[in-house]
Amino acid sequence: MKKILFILLTIFIFSPNLKAQETYDVKSYQDKGSAGWAYKTDDYAFVVEIPDCLIKWNAEEFKSGKRSLSARMKCDKPFKQQTAIHKAILTKLNEKWPLKSFKSIFWGQLCTKSDWSWCIPIAKASITSADYIDYWKHYPNSKITSINKLFVELANKSNSYKGLADLFIEFGVTIKLDSVEKVFEYRLKETPFYDQLKAEYPIQNPRVMFNVGMAYFAIQNP
């Protein structure tokens, strides 16, 4: 019996696939300091704060009956390293209001200086997009006059925000980028992530779009 326990303990300690589950202290409170209370009946904040990282989700209920989510981060960690925190917050939020009862998510920028993983697929997709090439070469006489809709299309087709989408699937809902505001465009070699792409595009230097000032996701029940 002792030998069996020793073997099991050894496997647990030394197996690379068995890691201790991190736990986070999720604080929740009615957020009276948030804006828009003239239109809302409730607004709860769900917050995790650890060194160098603060993540806050607000669950808002409006007088119209609609519910929406908003996420705000002050965090230097790449999204992959934030995922467990978001999951802890959404788990507690889901206990109060099922995520399937919400219609939308306000996210802010898709990328930050610490993580360009969501923006790179969009930039690469824009390089080969005939509509985008026509836009930056011929604007204001291009086929399309606004690139917001095209940005949404390329972000969805490239599955750029897969990490966030996968997280919501765990709660039985799907999300899709619905609209954006203020699209960021640079020449490829001027982008903050060019070092990650220069081996693939050593000569080309087209304009690319890759980030936005504000992003809004629609929540859909499968």
80-109 as b/e: b if 16+ CB within 10 A: eebeebbebbbebbbeebebeebbbbebeb
What pTM was estimated for this model as a whole?
0.87
**201/188 Cα distance (integer angstroms):** 9
Residue 20: predicted pLDDT: 42
Structural domain contains residue 9? no
Q: What is the mean pLDDT of residues 37-42?
A: 94
Residue 9: predicted pLDDT: 44
Best CA proximity match to 91, nearest among 24, 43, 30, 34: 24
Structural domain contains residue 103? yes
Q: What is the mean pLDDT of residues 72-92?
A: 96
Residue 61: predicted pLDDT: 96
Residue 2: predicted pLDDT: 52
Structural domain contains residue 179? yes
Structural domain contains residue 109? yes
Q: What is the pLDDT of residues 47-70, one digit of tens each?
A: 999 999 999 999 999 999 999 999
CA angle 33, 35, 37 (to 5 degrees): 95
**136/62 Cα distance (integer angstroms):** 40
Structural domain contains residue 11? no
Structural domain contains residue 80? yes
Residue 1: predicted pLDDT: 54
Helix axes 148-157, 119-127, angle to 10 degrees: 110
For the chain, what is the domain count? Answer: 1
The residue segments making up the domain with residue 113 are 23-220
Over 164-179, what HEC string results?
A: HHHHHHCCCCEEEEEE
Structural domain contains residue 16? no
Residue 11: predicted pLDDT: 43
Mean pLDDT across the chain, nearest whole number?
A: 90
| Residues ≥6 apart with Cβ < 8 Å to 114 | 75, 76, 77, 78
Q: What is the pLDDT of residues 119-161, one digit of tens each?
A: 999 999 999 999 999 999 999 999 998 899 999 999 999 999 9
Structural domain contains residue 172? yes
